[in-house]
Amino acid sequence: MAKVKSITPRPSAPPPDPARAATTPYAEMSDGRLRKKLRLYTEEWGMLGNDSSQAALTRRVELARLMRQVQDVLDLREPLVEVQVPASVTGEPFIIGPAQFNPGFHRVRRSVAEYLLWMIAENQRIELQRLQSKNRNINLGLIGERARMARIARDDGGGDDYTGRGA
């Protein structure tokens, strides 16, 4: 799964306001055009980082406002999904920006869910490698079974004898 990263200058920006997002000129644009605008604004915002003139600081503030507006529209178009978060190996909650994800069910935007699921998978992969290096067996339970079934369903021709389709 691809790693999703926040491209806004403030990762702790307030949640999107539907009323404000609907009144912006960005509400009518397609997702592709919005992402292009966001990329261009972000690039310009980053290039102005070394400039300490008043004009550059003013432009950075304006760009941050524009990026927030574009991101709000994109966020509101993104579907909400439910994610079941297992306990991490260390017992600490998974943290993305200001949000903490303790074990249980959480309703989040799709991009946040992708990143959260990637974090969970990496956490379990690293723990599995650690335990295998010590010659210990580990049972990932239901999540491990789902991952194995997803791998079987992909049928990438990797020689999986379990399904009878292998070499």
pLDDT digits (tens, 9 = 90+) for 97-150: 888 999 999 888 888 899 999 999 999 888 888 877 776 665 666 666 666 666
User: Are residues 40 and 11 in contact, defined by beta-carbon separation less than 8 angstroms?
Assistant: no
Cα distances (Å, whole numbers) of residue 19 to 66, 76, 108, 123, 124: 16, 11, 20, 38, 40
Q: Where are the domains of the chain?
A: 18-77, 81-163
Q: Is the pLDDT of residue 163 over 60?
A: no
* Each residue's pLDDT tens digit, 43-100: 988 888 888 889 989 999 999 988 888 888 888 888 888 989 998 888 889 998 888 9
User: Is this prediction's pTM over 0.85?
Assistant: no
pLDDT of residue 69: 85
